[in-house]
Structure formats: structure tokens, C-alpha cells
Amino acid sequence: MKNIVILISGGGSNMKAILQTARDRDWEKRFGAKVSRVISNKQSALGLSIAEEFNVKTSVVEHLQYKEATNPREAFETELTKVIDQDAPELVVLAGFMRILTPQFVNHYEGRLINIHPSLLPAFTGLHTHARALEMGCRFAGVTVHRVTPELDHGPILAQAVVPVLKGDTESDLASRVLTQEHLIYPKVIEELLS
């Protein structure tokens, strides 16, 4: 069985789209694959209860529990790696996981770690992508699924979807339009990687 581990920090809407697609399109039968675990760095993440509704095992590795460590990020990632590696995943999917990962962590999952980013990379790496697109007067925005490399939001692009920026758009309007595409493109990319 090809295991997929999904990392989240919040509501998990992309995770839900992946879980729904996996169920609807029977990934176990088609690809010999399943989402084996969802891990959050926040106990309060609403996505955890959604994962449980899909009968997916959940774990929490709170990054704040390691703030007193000599190297908090390293201590957090060491524990996170232990939990992920229990499932020997074929893919580790970042779905709204709001932690910047160290090169050591990224290299451990080289070729297996993917992310979704709400811009047309290489434009607007990092945060506040929709506000920045609006400030720059972009006529198009979108979403990118990419392999994760040590350099933030710079890995090889696997797929992109484009949405128009409409006159009078607010940051929220644009984010909503992009999110609709995120929910379509992310499961599709995972299917392509599994096949």
C-alpha cells in the first residue's frame, strides 16, 4: 500500500478535497494508495476532526512544545519525522501546513514532499500572495503545486491553475476564487504522481 501523509495547520479544506477525491475515485483500488495519516502542528486545527470523519488516523505534533529546546525547530522536526515515518509514506503532502521547514527535513523526504501555494510561482513566494497580486495590478492570479526543495516556494512546478483578477476584487474575493482551483488541482496532481 502506498501511504500518503498530509500535514495541516488549520481548517484543512485542501486536505478534505484530497480525502473526498481519494474516496470518490477509490485510490486504494486504482493506485494501491491511501491517506494513512493527517498530522497537525496545532491541537486546535479544525481539519483534524474532518480527517477523523473520513476514518483517517490523526496525530498532533505541537511546534510550541519545543520552544524551550536548544534548537526548537530541529526538536520539532525530529519528532514530526518520527511520526511521519511510522507510515513509510510514498508522499508527504503539505496542505496549509504553516511552518517553514529546514533543509534537513526537506532532504529527508526528497522527491516525496509536495506543497500547494496560492500564487503563480515563481511570483509571490511566501505570505500575503493575494494582497500582493492586487497591489501589483495583476490581471491573473492562481495556484501552484510544486515539489518542496530547501528554498522556500522554489521547487519544480508540477501544475498550475489560473484565475482572473476581476475589477473591484478584494483579497477575500481573490482568495476564494483561487481556493476553488486549489481543491481541483491538488488531488489531480496526487493522482498523477500515484499513477
CATH number at residue 32: 3.40.50.170
pTM for this entry: 0.96
Spatial distance between the Cα atoms of 21 and 87, rounded to a whole number of angstroms? 21
Spatial distance between the Cα atoms of 122 and 152, rounded to a whole number of angstroms? 10
Domain count, the chain: 1
Is 117 designated active site? yes
Give 78-129 pLDDT, tens digit per residue: 999 999 999 999 999 999 999 999 999 999 999 999 999 999 999 999 999 9
**Which residues does 42 contact at the CB level (< 8 Å), separation at least 6?**
9, 10, 60, 62
Give 1-56 pLDDT, tens digit per residue: 999 999 999 999 999 999 999 999 999 999 999 999 999 999 999 999 999 999 99
For 14, the domain range is 2-194
Spatial distance between the Cα atoms of 93 and 192, rounded to a whole number of angstroms? 14
| Selected catalytic residue, list 117, 130, 146, 154 | 117
